[in-house]
Amino acid sequence: MRTTPGVAIALALLLAGCAAPTPNTRWTAGSPSGAASDPASPSAAASPSASPSPSAAPAAPPLPRAGNPNGHATVPAEAQAVDTSHPTRVVGTGSAASCTSDAVVSAVAAGGIITFNCGTAPVTITMSATAKVRNNVAKVVLDGGGRVTLSGGGQRRILYLDTCDPADGPRTSHCQDQETPQLVVQNLTFADGNSTGQLQEGGGGGAIFDRGGRLKVVNSRFVRNRCDPTGPDLGGAAIRALSQSHNLPVYIVASTFGGASGQGGVCSNGGALSSIQVSWVVLNCVMSYNNAIGHGANPARGGTPGGGSGGAIYNDGDNFTLRIAGTLIENNHANEGGGAVFYVSNDRTGTMGIDGSTLRHNRSDGFETDGFPGIFFLGAHNPTVTGSTLQ
């Protein structure tokens, strides 16, 4: 176990949120309720790999299941999957070839409840352009039914929402704090997203970038996503979230980030999740084999580009919260601080709670908070830990 290397680093740093699946799902996920338990690794279980199709990338090795089967955190109603039995629009006409990048981009721009009809076999849709949520839609719900992978092909971000981006339609005078659009992704896999070089609003978000509105993720998988390798506040190989409506939390439910060696996300900070001034509730999830590869921390030490904190999760801002329950976070790595979680509340009002979870073998090469392996924390008080294992 590493510990915080004294007051000097702390002072330097001062200057610097999973449910029962929908009926469509083919994946086993954590129970939505029950007593807290010590989750065990589910990495041995796998679901079928994506089959090739005219619109698909070559078949990949089997991926880990979505979510932690040993996680038993209660999932509130607002965090559960959306009913998609009556979709607004459907991508595909029954074959893999009909499920194209153009069809996904068009459906996301139009909004509503979106499902897929790509045949009975798993399919990977390799995106030739990023799907962008338009600011004039109320909600976008993407439900892959447990058989669809959206791939960035290692070349591009997969999904984008920014309520303050004039290129995406009308915006309000309070664009950073508006209720819509709401974005829900469920029963999907996001693979090989890459936002490298996309530095608008601080960059990050190899698979999903979300600024404004509300974001929820249920029963989904994120593998091999990446963003820029350096930068003191840039992060989120899988997801980057900013400015959620009324400071309500992002829910991440019954989902897996990485899950097996070679499947994790890679970014300067936050190999899975990254945010500024955003609260998170992470329920019945798995985060493993993700890496924060920047160096120099935040603020960047002299002569360094900065970054390297939060192997799985990187949170920064003022008054925000992080709750982790029923979740397994293991085998993540940070070049600097917080092999599992880096959390800094600049005004020391933020709080963090860990319940019924296991955090283990998360290496911090630089610094951690004494008594909290894999975590660097600055907030109102030490993280509250109940029924959990930290090692």
| Average pLDDT score, the chain | 87
What tens digit of pLDDT does each residue of 82-136 get?
999 999 999 999 999 999 999 999 999 999 999 999 999 999 999 999 999 999 9
Q: Are strands 46-47 and 63-64 parallel, antiparallel or unpaired?
A: antiparallel
What tens digit of pLDDT does each residue of 314-358 get?
999 999 999 999 999 999 999 999 999 999 999 999 999 999 999
SS (H, E, C) the chain: CCCCCCHHHHHHHHHCCCCCCCCCCCCCCCCCCCCCCCCCCCCCCEECCCECCCCCCCCCCCEECCCCCCCCCCCCHHHCCCCCCCCCEEECCCCHHHCCHHHHHHHHHHCEEEEECCCCCCEEEECCCCEECCCCCCEEEEEEEEEEEEECCCCCCCEEEECCCHHHCCCCCCHHHCCCCEEEEEEEEEECCECCCCCHHHCCCCCEEEECCEEEEECCEEECCECCCCCCCCECCCEEEECCHHHCCEEEECCEEECCCCCCCEECECCCEEEECCCEEEECCEEECCEECCECECCCCCCCCEECCCCCEEEEECCCEEEEECCEEECCEECCECCCEEEEECCCCCEEEEECCEEECCEECCECECCECCEEEECCCCCEEECCEEC
Least confident residue range of 37-51, 157-171, 202-216: 37-51
Least confident residue range of 55-69, 219-233, 300-314: 55-69
Structure tokens at 167: 């290129």
Q: Cα–Cα distances in Å, from 292 out to 222, 232, 308? A: 16, 11, 5
Structure tokens at 161: 């929402």
pTM of the model: 0.85
Distance CA 266, CA 235 (A): 9
